[in-house]
Amino acid sequence: MTGLAANLGRRSAVTELAPAAAAATPALRKAGTVRFEALGKSYASSAGQVQALAGIDLDIRAGEIFGIIGRSGAGKSSLLRTINRLERPSTGRVLVDGEDIAALDEAGLVALRRRVGMVFQHFNLLSAKTVRGNVALPLRVAGLPGGEIARRVDQALELVGLTGKGDTYPSRLSGGQKQRVGIARALVSRPEILLCDEATSALDPETTVSILRLLRNINRRLGLTVVLITHEMSVIREICDRVVVLEAGRIAEQGPVWQVFGAPNHAATQALLQPLQHGLPEDLVQRLRDKRHGAGDETLVELSFLGRNAPDLGQLAAVTGQGAGRGRLRLVSSQLERIQGHSIGKLLVALGPGVAPEALAPLADQTRILGYVDASDD
Amino acid sequence: MLTPQMIDRLQQAFWDTVLMVSVSAGIAVLVGIPLAVFLVTSGPGGIFPAPRLNRIVGTVVNGFRAVPFIVLLVALIPFTRLVAGTTIGVWAAIVPLAVSATPFFARIAEVSLREVDSGLIEAAQSIGCRRLDIVRHVLLPEALPGIIGGFTITVVTMIGASAMAGAVGAGGLGDVAIRYGYQRFDTTVMLVVIAILILLVSAVQFTGDYAVRRLRAR
């Protein structure tokens, strides 16, 4: 439900803010694309040549929140780091706004990095500088005048909700505040692209939510492209528009988040989704039988929603009709989410005797009979 | 116990020691820090990679560190004459003291610089820092507490080493202690000198520790 509200809010906010944003920085809305072409990366290690990335072809669009997910060692961090050339690809190309970044000299690279902000898992703040000093550094090294720096640092601190914390040293801040400083530092150069390297992995769940909300807010207000990597599917679900799943350095699958969540094709995706899914309740597992025994047995049916059909409880009740006995249609458990306006998840229902499970098939994207339980036990 | 002449002599010796140690410590900082930065950044994977030159400089630094100070003092006499224009006195002792202290301090500062989290360098690169910006805004300020701690150790070591400067007629507290205490069996003078040295070393150590604590507390 919160996902729904946020999504609705997002559309309206973009349309409201778009003219203002366009007036402030005319090129902003168009810039911020990344394209990987046949990208590969290999390292020489003690165990020989290690292929970290291979055959990566991807397009990241301007203004979207793009998620890169994979298990540890899948190559997601390497992939992200090729965008601002903290790592150089071994083969293939990276194009930022259509420009091949492999050829850049130090000056070109510095210019690129001012257009591409980065936020780190462990914040990487300078302990010898105050919050203000950290956020100001990108502008100082760019040679901006002091007054301009002060103004923009104030703006950035306000944007991340740290007004008044400017003179504090990072060691006095909480993890969430440190990450806000990291975000302010990344944004103060007004980049088109923001790279987030496991930006919430070192934070507790509550702080994670607030940082993700901040990132979504920034994406909405400034119209910048956000590329984030994570090993948590919940982060992807929370804020991403599209996602790519990496496995062993290759693309396992990619698409809009609701599609990948609704119908994960690759084993790696399914494994990553596992923590978000409930299994069959234990008491039911023990009572479940393959065949119908008594006349009063209920049929346990799993209805899967992959984003095409929306669960319609009225219809469900209607098709199960006037079946005899108690519990002609009981909802046993449900796990439905709304992702990008699509209903994704599962309903587990118990059908009383006399109701044909086949009748439910048109109402869900997939239906599966799990087995039978003796209703008298309940 | 102490004659007025002896008190004068001790005073003179105290200021000779302070002069020798502070001038050569100043040189050790001015040369040692850039040397340490070079040793850290020019290694493989550093921001100014030059592995061959790094190895050569590293070997030279080790060479100087391997030579005992008293040997260095004598071996450097031609060089001292060239630089200081004399081979006796306080200024003649400053040259070998500085030559000995610089590689010592550089190695200690190098350790502190190496301990700067590579994530900070990466972050600095990601915000558009050039390599010299990284040295100035990241490496040096982040390593500063460690460098100051190392500098304290260097100064204390130099106060000890300056005792040998008497060999080139430089005077100083150590020289007084050896000549009066050891060679003339004047125990009182020796004990007084030792007490002054203890106070001097304690003052240096306390100041260094205080500065490090202040920096670490932020």
Q: What are B109-127's pLDDT values in tens digits?
A: 999 999 999 999 999 999 9
Q: What are A226-260's pLDDT values in tens digits?
A: 999 998 889 999 899 999 999 999 999 999 999 99
Chain A interface disruption, residue of B126, B129, B131, most A CBs within 10 A: B126
Over residues B82-103, mean pLDDT: 91
Q: What are A150-188's pLDDT values in tens digits?
A: 999 999 999 999 999 999 999 999 999 999 999 999 999
Residue A325: pLDDT over 70: no
Mean pLDDT for all residues in chain B: 92
Please answer yes or no on whether B126 and A111 come within 8 Å at the CB atom: no
A369 touches chain B (CB under 8 A): no
Q: Report yes or no for ipTM above 0.85.
A: yes
Can you read off the two tokens belonging to residue A149? 């720096």
d(CA B183, CA B178): 6
Can you read off the two tokens belonging to residue B46? 């550093």
Distance from CA of A111 to the nearest CA of B (A): 7
Which 3 state secondary structure label does DSSP give A67? strand
Under a CB-based contact definition with an 8 Å cutoff, are residues B141 and A128 in contact?
yes
Beta-carbon contacts of A76 under 8 Å, excluding residues fewer than 6 positions away, are A68, A69, A70, A229, A231, A246
The fraction of chain A above a pLDDT of 70, given in percent, is 89
| Contacts A–B by Cβ distance under 8 A | 70
B6 touches chain A (CB under 8 A): no
Distance from CA of B141 to the nearest CA of A (A): 6
CA dihedral for A222, A223, A224, A225, sign (positive or negative): positive
Please answer yes or no on whether A124 and B144 come within 8 Å at the CB atom: no
Quote the pTM value: 0.85
Distance from CA of A119 to the nearest CA of B (A): 8
Q: How far apart are the first and last CA of chain A?
A: 31
Neighbouring C-alpha atoms within 13 Å toward the C-beta of A47: 3
Can you read off the two tokens belonging to residue A101? 């970044």
Q: What are B176-218's pLDDT values in tens digits?
A: 888 888 788 888 888 899 899 999 999 999 999 999 999 988 7
Can you read off the two tokens belonging to residue B215? 């920096």
Please answer yes or no on whether B144 and A84 come within 8 Å at the CB atom: no
Over residues B1-26, mean pLDDT: 91
pLDDT at B163: 82
Nearest CA in chain B to A172: B218
Which chain B residues touch A171 with a CB distance below 8 Å? Answer: 218
Nearest CA in chain B to A130: B218
Please answer yes or no on whether B127 and A141 come within 8 Å at the CB atom: yes
Question: For the residues of chain B, what is the DSSP string, one character each?
Answer: ---HHHHHHHHHHHHHHHHHHHHHHHHHHHHHHHHHHHHHHSSTTSSS--HHHHHHHHHHHHHHHHS-HHHHHHHTHHHHHHHHS-SSSHHHHHHHHHHHHHHHHHHHHHHHHHTS-HHHHHHHHHTT--HHHHIIIIIHHHHHHHHHHHHHHHHHHHHHHGGGGGGGT---HHHHIIIIIIIS--HHHHHHHHHHHHHHHHHHHHHHHHHHHHHHT-
Backbone angles phi and psi of A167, in degrees to 5:
-95, 5
pLDDT at B98: 95
Choose between B152 and A355: higher pLDDT.
B152
3-state helix, strand, coil split of chain A in percent (to 5) is 40, 30, 35
Please answer yes or no on whether A86 and B122 come within 8 Å at the CB atom: yes
A341-345, A374-378, B86-90: the lowest-pLDDT one: A374-378
Q: Report the run of H or E that residue A332 belongs to, with start and end.
A: strand A329-339
B133 touches chain A (CB under 8 A): yes
Nearest CA in chain A to B123: A124
Mean pLDDT for all residues in chain A: 86
Which chain B residues touch A124 with a CB distance below 8 Å? Answer: 117, 119-120, 122-123
Can you read off the two tokens belonging to residue A3? 């996902």
Banded pLDDT at A19 (limits 50, 70, 90): very low
Please answer yes or no on whether B126 and A84 come within 8 Å at the CB atom: yes
B128 touches chain A (CB under 8 A): yes
Distance from CA of A92 to the nearest CA of B (A): 22
Residue A92: pLDDT over 70: yes
The residue with tokens 């850039």 is B34
pLDDT at A14: 37
Can you read off the two tokens belonging to residue A225? 């492209």
Residue A50: pLDDT over 80: yes
Q: What are A25-38's pLDDT values in tens digits?
A: 444 446 899 999 99
The fraction of chain A above a pLDDT of 90, given in percent, is 56
A110 touches chain B (CB under 8 A): yes
